């Protein structure tokens, strides 16, 4: 017997929408790649990057030769390689990022204060009792939310993220079974190490006192930009003396060898595809720190926004930071000392990310070719893709 029709048809439940990239990652990538792209395009119109690019070209001279008018340095302190922001922050970007990571690991992800733990246990016990009355569940049953609320699991994931990011930084900047990745790309694309010339602002060839060996006769030590051993460039500002490595001073360098006497010969990289190390480290650092504070973002905004914004703004952030993404523990509702401490750490990390974005803008405007910035961003995104997400 066929049941009478009710006039309605049962429609299959629509499958949940799958997003290849979560909304909060889209926001983060837009926040970082947007300024990088926009100011790189602007640099092409204003030609603000050409002078620093010229200094890294095979034809560059560091002896003060007159260059074309349009290649004069840009009148901005942020266009200078020796500016304070570059020397203090960008050159030590991973150290600053590591300090920020340790701070959030010890505070935001650290153990709760006894008062907060007791209050959380009371609230959890009450919630279990209410659930038991409604659903008949045993009060001592452990649900998924209890398993996820442990400190060890989020902290372990955070530690794994940091370890992978640090490994990526080492392989790119310091060592990859020999020269780092950035140097391998540079030399394989035609980059060479050449001598820093006498009279260079960075003091290319000098005696131990830092003065030219023959006063007033810089040209006596002038060498063509012929390649020298890459060890001179890897030695950095310290350089290498004849007594340390006589095997590196070949016949072609006798003039320089005689000129520097007991001083040191320093090298500088020229030519090749110089992958933007600044773009790499600033993007990777920002993405790592943003991933670390994501579980606490909505809690932070709700607790510390002005009263009029406490409800509407966090609610509008729900599509970006859905509840499953948030930490079960609110580190900003602990006792007064811990609450303030956690707020200071969170604010400092957001400020550091803001500084990295400002540095990305300066890099986009004043340094590297668009291709070099693009490759730096590509390597950074590749490293970020390896990091565990969420939690």
d(CA 231, CA 236): 9
**Local confidence band at 226 (pLDDT 50, 70, 90 cut-offs):** confident
Nearest to 384 by CA among 179, 103, 173, 167: 167
Nearest to 328 by CA among 143, 129, 159: 143
Report whether pLDDT(114) > 80: no
Q: How far is CA 280 from the centre of its chain?
A: 6
- What ranges make up the beta strands (E) of 148-197? 192-195
What mean pLDDT comes out for the span 199-206?
38
**Local confidence band at 39 (pLDDT 50, 70, 90 cut-offs):** very high
User: For position 118, what pLDDT does the model report?
Assistant: 60
DSSP letter at 268 equals: E
The share of the chain scoring above pLDDT 70, in percent, equals 66
Q: In sequence order, which residues have a C-beta less than 8 Å from that of residue 277 and are 6 or more positions away?
A: 172, 173, 182, 376
Q: In sequence order, which residues have a C-beta less than 8 Å from that of residue 252 and are 6 or more positions away?
A: 226
User: What is residue 91's three-state secondary structure?
Assistant: helix
Q: In sequence order, which residues have a C-beta less than 8 Å from that of residue 323 and are 6 or more positions away?
A: none
Report whether pLDDT(30) > 60: yes
User: For position 375, what pLDDT does the model report?
Assistant: 97
User: For position 201, what pLDDT does the model report?
Assistant: 38
Every domain of the chain and the residues it spans: 21-112+150-176+285-391, 192-270
User: For position 312, what pLDDT does the model report?
Assistant: 60
Q: How far is CA 182 from the centre of its chain?
A: 15
Task: Compute the C-alpha angle 118/120/126, nearest 5°.
Answer: 105
d(CA 57, CA 269): 9
d(CA 260, CA 249): 12
What residues pair up with 267 in beta bridges, in sequence order? 195
Report whether pLDDT(247) > 70: yes
**Residue 207, token pair as written in the block:** 């005696």
**Local confidence band at 308 (pLDDT 50, 70, 90 cut-offs):** low
User: For position 215, what pLDDT does the model report?
Assistant: 34
Q: How far is CA 371 from the centre of its chain?
A: 19
Average pLDDT over the chain, rounded to an integer? 76
Q: Are 78 and 366 in contact (CB under 8 A)?
A: yes
Report whether pLDDT(210) > 50: no
User: For position 342, what pLDDT does the model report?
Assistant: 93
**Local confidence band at 235 (pLDDT 50, 70, 90 cut-offs):** confident
User: For position 390, what pLDDT does the model report?
Assistant: 83
Report whether pLDDT(297) > 80: yes
Report whether pLDDT(205) > 50: no
The share of the chain scoring above pLDDT 90, in percent, equals 39
Q: In sequence order, which residues have a C-beta less than 8 Å from that of residue 361 and are 6 or more positions away?
A: 35, 36, 39
Report whether pLDDT(382) > 90: yes
Q: Are 292 and 345 in contact (CB under 8 A)?
A: no
Supply the Cα-derived Rg of the chain in whole angstroms. 29
Q: Are 89 and 96 in contact (CB under 8 A)?
A: yes
């Amino acid at each position: 017997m066929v049941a009478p029709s009710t006039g309605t048809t049962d429609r299959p439940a629509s499958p949940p929408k799958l997003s290849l990239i979560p909304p909060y990652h889209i926001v983060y990538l837009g926040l970082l790649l947007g300024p990088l792209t926009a100011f790189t395009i602007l640099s092409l119109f204003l030609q603000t990057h050409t002078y620093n690019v010229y200094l890294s070209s095979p034809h560059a001279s560091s002896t003060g030769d007159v260059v074309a008018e349009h290649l004069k340095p840009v009148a901005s302190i942020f266009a200078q390689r020796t500016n304070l922001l570059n020397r203090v922050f960008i050159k030590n970007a991973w150290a600053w990022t590591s300090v920020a990571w340790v701070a959030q690991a010890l505070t935001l992800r650290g153990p709760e204060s006894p008062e907060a733990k007791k209050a959380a246990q009371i609230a959890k016990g009450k919630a279990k009792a209410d659930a038991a009355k409604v659903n008949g569940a045993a009060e001592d049953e452990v649900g998924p939310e209890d398993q996820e609320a442990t400190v060890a699991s989020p902290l372990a994931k955070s530690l794994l993220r940091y370890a992978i990011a640090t490994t990526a930084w080492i392989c790119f900047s310091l060592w990859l079974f020999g020269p780092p990745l950035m140097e391998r790309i540079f030399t394989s694309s035609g980059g060479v190490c050449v001598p820093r010339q006498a009279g260079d602002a960075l003091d290319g060839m000098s005696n131990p006192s830092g003065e030219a060996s023959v006063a007033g006769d810089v040209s006596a030590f002038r060498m063509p930009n012929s390649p020298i051993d890459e060890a001179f460039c890897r030695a950095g500002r310290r350089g290498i003396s004849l007594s340390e490595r006589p095997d590196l001073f070949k016949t072609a360098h006798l003039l320089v060898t005689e000129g520097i006497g007991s001083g040191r010969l320093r090298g500088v990289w020229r030519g090749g595809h110089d992958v933007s190390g600044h773009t790499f480290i600033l993007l990777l650092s920002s993405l790592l720190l943003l991933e670390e504070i994501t579980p606490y973002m909505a809690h932070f905004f709700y607790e510390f926004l002005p009263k009029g914004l406490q409800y509407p703004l966090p609610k509008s952030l729900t599509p970006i930071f859905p509840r499953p993404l948030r930490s079960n523990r609110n580190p900003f509702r602990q006792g007064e000392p811990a609450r303030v401490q956690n707020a200071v750490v969170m604010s400092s990390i957001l400020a550091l990310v803001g500084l990295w974005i400002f540095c990305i803008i300066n890099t986009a405007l004043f340094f590297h070719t668009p291709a070099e910035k693009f490759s730096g961003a590509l390597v950074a995104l590749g490293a970020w893709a390896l990091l565990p997400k969420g939690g």
